[in-house]
Structure 1
């Protein structure tokens, strides 16, 4: 099972888990979720291909890949049981999409701290997980329904993967502002000169690649398992909706 960090985006994209995610996009029904997933993968590929030549352009492609993956995730959520709150995420607003990606990144960080490992099942029909708990390792099929938001002092049951407490909305807002500023700093010239890109472009590309693939997996999981209970997603989307981001909400 893969729980060791991969060193670059090429390794991530070629890993068997990533290949399964990419191949599974074909299972999505025609529509925004599928087309945004396909476009996200296209931009990830371009980011990886041109990184050596132009890290700035590659970073932009990677950021766009994440935004498209967010759009795919929200589109799937609207269709598969989470419309009440998903429809309040404005897919034409960068801050709304950044909010989802910021929370997804926090979840990823928490899962890594809990030593979550992911692999392709022996039947190659789904992903499976291994997570460390007080009694050793637990194993199971990986689905969005596996995740639960728990206070840090509580432990999930044997079928769940705990993600800790929901972060304060104010913290998420502040992080979204930082993401928006970083995006603008990457793209736009100022009165004092042109931008030179992220301080750590390799780490940025790695992060966006992981986020995009994770969000595409979540999209696929909702389509492949439409009847599963996913309270974790409702909690996240309800928190996002409570921020009241600017712009008209898409119905």
Structure 2
């Protein structure tokens, strides 16, 4: 069952600026229909289109989707190969549509592990949409939260080693600025479909004060109604950020 609140009063009352989603359940969706797992991933792409369209219409600033984790290389080779092919064809098919709808594409993760042809498609897609001012669509591909923190720390350590930065000058803000999500607001709402209730190494640093929403719906069946329900749950919660509830009421009324 979704991790929702029964309180229908909109305590928070505003839409999330940044929604992050783990799109889980494609393979199980296909297996339930006696189809190959890859058919679930194709159905999942259709669900992505609907959610991106909805977020753009709702003026959500950022939508981050976990498409392929650094751990997904452990899957059967045939499935990984088909996923890479699907990623390539989807990029080719969708970039023009994103551009026409003023959506900026941003791919985060260790892209060096991808075939050069796919890396080039990523570069071209990001370049084509970089000046768009609507929704920012973030696709996490070959991404892991631990990898992200590690690469940020490595960059900072290199600066210290070169004498460009004092160790005492390292702050949370500096680490944040060296993550691959630099310049993006932290996620307000995290959604995971498919019935699992874990974050699976996704945006570990960035999810510190994010509201979580879990649903049993498999990703291909996750539609705008499901997203509206998640947003309604988010808006019913009081976000305290370390304050008491009474303090947050005072801050809101100030």
Q: TM-score normalised to the size of structure 2?
A: 0.25
The structure with the greater share of residues assigned to strand is 2
**Structure having the higher Rg:** 2
Q: TM-score normalised to the size of structure 1?
A: 0.25
The structure with the greater share of residues assigned to helix is 1
